[in-house]
Amino acid sequence: MLTKVSIYTDGSARGNPDGPGGYGTIIVFVDSKGQEHIREYSAGYKKTTNNRMELMAAIVGLEALTKPCHVTLYSDSQYLVKAFNEHWIEGWIKKGWKRGKNEPVKNVDLWKRLLKAMEPHKVDFVWVKGHSGHPQNERCDTLATEAADGTNLLDDVVYNG
């Protein structure tokens, strides 16, 4: 039986696109003794986009898991949630990472990394309305914006703005 884990995510970018950005991730699970565990992750980048940070938040949460889990991943990003719930990603892959009128899918590096991070897990994506008082989403937003506004920002080496 897989451990049930909730992952809450949010991404932020100032001056989107091409401004500083950050992500916030919260992982919550209850161990076999009934003890709740909460872990928070965040980082900021010098120049990025909101969508890249939304994807990074999910990636970091999934990559932090050390064994296969049943994950419910909560995000206020329709870009992320609809890609899986409306099966966009399957079409992108079939078309060689093209969408619509044969246009390239953006952020392919992160979509591929996310798919790899998902492999050992069963992941359900749930959309939550942003800035609506959802406690974990609000906390993730704070983590993401503080990271974007912080010092020692990382380079998003693939994003070239």
Q: What residue numbers does the annotated binding site cover?
A: 10, 54, 76, 141
Of 37, 70, 87, 131, which is the active-site residue? 131
Helix H segments across 16-134? 50-63, 78-85, 88-94, 108-118
The token pair that represents 10 in the structure block: 């949010």
Of 22, 44, 54, 121, which is the active-site residue? 54
155 part of a folded domain: no
Of 22, 24, 141, 156, which is the active-site residue? 141
pLDDT of residue 133: 87
Dihedral sign computed on CA atoms, order 123, 90, 13, 59: positive
Q: What residue numbers does the annotated binding site for Mg(2+) cover?
A: 10, 54, 76, 141
Q: Give Cα separations from 120 to 42, 52, 114, 128 (angstroms).
A: 23, 22, 12, 24
Of 11, 24, 44, 61, which is the active-site residue? 11
pLDDT of residue 121: 97
Is 15 designated active site? no
Amino acid at 33: K
Q: Give Cα separations from 98 to 105, 107, 115, 130 (angstroms).
A: 5, 12, 16, 28
Q: Give Cα separations from 121 to 6, 13, 21, 37, 64 (angstroms).
A: 12, 28, 28, 19, 12
161 part of a folded domain: no
Domain that holds residue 131: 3-148
Is 54 designated active site? yes
Can you give the CATH number for the domain in which 65 is found? 3.30.420.10
Confidence of residue 132 (pLDDT cuts 50, 70, 90): confident
Of 22, 61, 76, 156, which is the active-site residue? 76
Is 156 designated active site? no
156 part of a folded domain: no
Residues 14-71 pLDDT 10s: 988 889 999 999 999 999 999 999 999 999 999 999 999 999 999 999 999 999 999 9
28 part of a folded domain: yes
Residues 95-125 pLDDT 10s: 999 998 889 999 999 999 999 999 999 999 9
68 part of a folded domain: yes
Is 10 designated active site? yes
154 part of a folded domain: no
Query: pTM for the complete prediction?
Result: 0.96
Is 11 designated active site? yes
How many folded domains does the chain comprise?
Answer: 1
